[in-house]
């Protein structure tokens, strides 16, 4: 979202920032506000995390996707079909700039995301 339409994938943090939509511009604005706060008061420790769609479950079952309403991303639909709570999977969108016209998404597993958050907190702690 903050990288616009990159010329190559996967994206890396060093890619130029160029939001492709209002949501991306909002994310970049918030990042800039965080940097401004830290510049104004160096006691603030800030780390910015850029990740995309989180999906999956923890083996314990405490972290999971079990939507009670209409899901807002693809993975819960896949899971509902897999456990026979939905008869079929419908993929929407046919006019994207891809080979088959369908959308392309990046996903990160919730456990990897949690590990990343812990690593970020430890990095901030090192800065003391």
> If you average pLDDT over residues 63-89, what whole number do you get?
81
What pTM did the predictor assign? 0.73
Q: Is 62 a catalytic residue?
A: no
CATH 3.90.25.10 in the chain, residue ranges: 54-126
Strands, DSSP E only, in 2-126?
53-55, 107-109
**What does CATH list as the number for 54-126?**
3.90.25.10
Question: Does the structure show a pLDDT above 80 at 31?
Answer: yes
- Predicted confidence (pLDDT) at residue 27 exceeds the cutoff of 90: yes
Of 23, 62, 96, 107, which is the active-site residue?
23
What tokens were used for 18? 């160029």
pLDDT of residue 70: 77
Among 125, 15, 85, 100, smallest CA distance to 1 is for 15
State residue 55's pLDDT score. 81
Q: Taking 90 as the threshold, does the pLDDT of residue 47 lie above it?
A: yes
């Amino acid at each position: 979202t903050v990288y616009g339409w990159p010329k190559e994938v996967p994206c890396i943090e060093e890619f130029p920032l160029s939001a492709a939509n209002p949501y991306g511009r909002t994310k970049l604005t918030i990042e800039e506000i965080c940097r401004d706060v830290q510049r104004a008061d160096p006691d603030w420790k800030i780390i910015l995390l850029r990740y995309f769609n989180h999906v999956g479950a923890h083996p314990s079952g405490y972290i999971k996707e079990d939507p009670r309403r209409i899901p807002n991303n693809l993975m819960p639909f896949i899971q509902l079909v897999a456990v026979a709570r939905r008869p079929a999977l419908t993929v929407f969108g046919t006019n994207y700039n891809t080979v088959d016209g369908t959308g392309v998404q990046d996903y990160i597993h919730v456990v990897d995301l949690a590990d990343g958050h812990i690593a970020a907190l430890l990095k901030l702690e090192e800065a003391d």
